[in-house]
């Protein structure tokens, strides 16, 4: 069901001028299949090459994929418009030689492929890279090696750091995605109710929802007779150590001198990676062209543009033609054609208002960061409790809130930032069903007398204690409609071992009050007049994230959970509060 008031409202009349539409084809094409591309170590990767039928030298778009080269629209689209399009199986996948090890070989293999393409008789030496998701991640990995002939990249719904916004969300382990994509999906595609047959002649049939509960995590894939070595290594490296640091492109922005366009959705699994890529290039890119030329487009989507997502419909203007946007971008940088607006670098969809903002930069220049404080009488448990949000700081005798987190009865994942066929629903979804739980603290503002736009990075400063040495705290920013519908617009999770550092985990002292900062994934939402702002706080988001068992034992090996008694403080001494990016009304 689609909820909301004014959800079909139209964007500004000039919206069509800000987003391009596809131009007609210019030429016929020819295709070469299974073209060998040698890597520096002698491994051969194979590619299909689509190019204009007329002989000549053209700019080249390189697309590298682990999902197979067949059945994609992009090669024909771009090659019919004056480009050579090279689409290649990455190392160890489909036709290409070598061992499949996600992320590990994409930097060198990307460099070698770009430079090989630049030397071919059909190439004019100007190379761009194109693709979404993993196909966007490989672009970042190649760009950090600075291939001389790489002019620009367009990573679509992609991560700049596998650790921060792929395998974990800043340290919190993405169980459903990692297991579904890593341990299972690389061999077969499954759904929530699919029966998984144990390999090796076993007779046991298991559903995804059965397997996802298994402990310890390290043994989970063995239930299916699978043994993806990289998945085991991910579990063995829960911290941000050298295993992950070598893949982190954020350490290389100052070396990347080319302009980059990132595109993503507010509810995608890689939302933060999309934003981090733009911020890194626009603020610290390695050349003036990179800093001034990089752009971002981010809409109300999950893992790609749609008109509706989750429980909301956003209207026709929410949908954009990504290939047309990419064509305009590549035409500008690879063909020196006019048409790209280089002044408005950020195209941001404001939910609630359901209109696009076209800005010079993101976060917006006129952002005002305001504190919204937690209040209660000590009983904020569930939506029936007395939790409040107010712009006023709480008084000195405000009672803290308590709840009991039992890993054997976790709060289920409901909406949020996820993708790719895992059996948890993503996007903006009504939260009322889980807000009835006693282990979910709910803080709600008064009805808004005027509409309030929140656009940008969101933080929650939480003063908390736990009876355990390690636990999780989950926070959601909620838009409450007049009829009580409670739509999540941003979420974040803090694994307390990483409260100070992702590479130097540290246990809690039980009972000690800590100042915890939870980074929520960015958003843009207009809280309409008559709506309310809400914060939900709990300690689990399962199975999107693995259950913290509250024991402090080595990750992936423990299997006996214990209950944690959590306390949230909100007083003059311990003023827990949101830090919201408020955009003044026009």
| Residues designated as active site | 133, 268, 303
Residues 6 or more apart whose CB falls under 8 angstroms from that of 71 comprise none
Q: How far is residue 339's CA from residue 333's CA, in Å, rounded to a whole number? A: 11
Give the DSSP H/E element, type plus range, for residue 245: helix 242-245
Nearest CA to 115 out of 90, 92, 144, 146 is that of 146
Grouping H, G, I as helix, E, B as strand and the rest as coil, residue 132 is strand
For every residue of 422-478, DSSP letters joined together read: -SS--BS-B-TTGGGSTTSEEEEPPPPSS-EEEEEEEEEEEEEEESSSS-EEEEEEE
Nearest CA to 98 out of 66, 70, 130, 120 is that of 66
Helices (H), 144-178: 162, 175-177
Per DSSP, the chain holds a count of helices (H) and strands (E) of: 12, 27
Query: Distance of CA 272 to CAs 279, 355, 521, 578, Å?
Result: 10, 21, 6, 19
Query: Distance of CA 177 to CAs 226, 418, 419, Å?
Result: 16, 8, 8
Q: How far is residue 447's CA from residue 480's CA, in Å, rounded to a whole number? A: 9
The answer to whether the beta carbons of residues 485 and 474 sit under 8 Å apart is no
Q: How far is residue 231's CA from residue 221's CA, in Å, rounded to a whole number? A: 9
Count CB neighbours of 469 within 10 A.
Answer: 17
Nearest CA to 381 out of 565, 546, 152 is that of 565
Residues 6 or more apart whose CB falls under 8 angstroms from that of 72 comprise 63, 87
Q: How far is residue 202's CA from residue 128's CA, in Å, rounded to a whole number? A: 48
The answer to whether the beta carbons of residues 169 and 545 sit under 8 Å apart is yes
The answer to whether the beta carbons of residues 157 and 303 sit under 8 Å apart is yes
In 341-387, at which residue ranges do the beta strands (DSSP E only) sit? 346-350, 355-359, 368-375
Residue 464 forms beta bridges with which residues? 514, 568
Q: Within 13 Å and on the Cβ side, how many CA atoms surround 290? A: 24
Sign of the torsion angle spanned by Cα atoms 117, 121, 123, 124: positive
């Amino acid at each position: 069901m689609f909820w909301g008031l004014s959800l079909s409202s139209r964007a500004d009349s000039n919206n069509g001028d800000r987003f391009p539409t596809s131009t007609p084809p210019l030429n016929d094409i020819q295709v070469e299949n299974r073209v060998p591309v040698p890597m520096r170590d002698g491994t051969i990767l194979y590619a299909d090459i689509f190019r204009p039928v007329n002989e000549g030298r053209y700019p080249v778009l390189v697309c590298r994929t682990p999902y197979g080269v067949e059945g994609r629209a992009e090669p024909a689209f771009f090659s019919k418009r004056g480009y050579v399009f090279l689409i290649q199986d990455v190392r160890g996948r489909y036709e290409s030689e070598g061992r499949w090890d996600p992320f590990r070989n994409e930097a060198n293999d990307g460099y070698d492929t770009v430079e090989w393409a630049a030397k071919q008789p059909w190439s004019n030496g100007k190379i761009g890279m194109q693709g979404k998701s993993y196909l966007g991640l490989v672009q970042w990995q190649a760009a950090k090696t600075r291939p001389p002939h790489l002019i620009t990249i367009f990573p679509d719904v992609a991560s700049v750091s596998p650790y921060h916004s792929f395998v974990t969300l800043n340290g919190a382990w993405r169980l459903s995605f990692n297991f579904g994509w890593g341990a299972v999906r690389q061999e077969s595609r499954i759904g929530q109710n699919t029966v998984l047959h144990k390999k090796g002649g076993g007779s046991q049939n298991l559903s995804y929802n059965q397997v996802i509960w298994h402990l310890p995590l390290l043994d989970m894939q063995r239930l299916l007779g699978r043994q993806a070595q990289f998945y085991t290594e991910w579990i063995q490296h829960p911290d941000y150590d050298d295993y992950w640091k070598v893949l982190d492109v954020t350490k290389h922005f100052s070396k990347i001198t080319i302009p980059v366009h990132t595109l993503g959705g507010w509810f995608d699994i890689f939302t933060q990676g999309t934003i981090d890529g733009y911020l890194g290039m626009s603020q610290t890119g390695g050349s003036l062209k990179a800093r001034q030329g990089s752009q971002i487009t981010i809409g109300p989507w999950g893992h790609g543009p749609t008109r509706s997502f989750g429980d909301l419909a956003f209207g026709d203007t929410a949908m954009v033609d990504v290939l047309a946007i990419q064509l305009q971008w590549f035409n500008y940088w690879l063909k020196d054609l006019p048409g790209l607006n280089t002044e408005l670098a950020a195209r941001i969809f404001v939910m609630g208002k359901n209109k696009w903002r076209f800005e010079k930069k993101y976060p917006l220049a006129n952002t005002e960061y305001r504190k919204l404080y937690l209040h209660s009488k000590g009983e904020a448990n569930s939506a029936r409790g007395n939790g409040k949000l107010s712009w006023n700081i709480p008084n000195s005798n405000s009672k803290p809130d308590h709840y009991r987190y039992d890993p054997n009865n976790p709060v289920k994942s409901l909406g949020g930032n996820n993708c790719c066929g895992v059996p948890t629903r993503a996007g903006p979804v009504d939260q009322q069903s889980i807000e009835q739980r006693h282990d979910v603290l709910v803080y709600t503002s008064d009805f808004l007398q005027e509409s309030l736009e929140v656009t940008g990075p969101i933080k929650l400063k939480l003063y908390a204690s736990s009876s355990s040495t390690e636990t999780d705290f989950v926070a959601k920013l909620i838009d409450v409609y007049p009829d009580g519908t409670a739509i999540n617009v941003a979420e974040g999770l803090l694994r307390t071992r990483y409260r100070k550092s992702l590479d130097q985990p540290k246990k809690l002292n039980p009972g000690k009050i800590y100042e915890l900062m939870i980074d929520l994934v960015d958003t843009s939402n207009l809280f309409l007049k008559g709506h309310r702002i809400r914060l939900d706080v709990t300690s689990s988001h399962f199975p999107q994230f693995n259950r913290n068992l509250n024991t402090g034992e080595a990750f992936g090996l423990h299997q006996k959970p214990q209950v944690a008694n959590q306390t949230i403080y909100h007083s003059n001494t311990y003023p827990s509060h949101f830090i919201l990016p408020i955009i003044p009304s026009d």
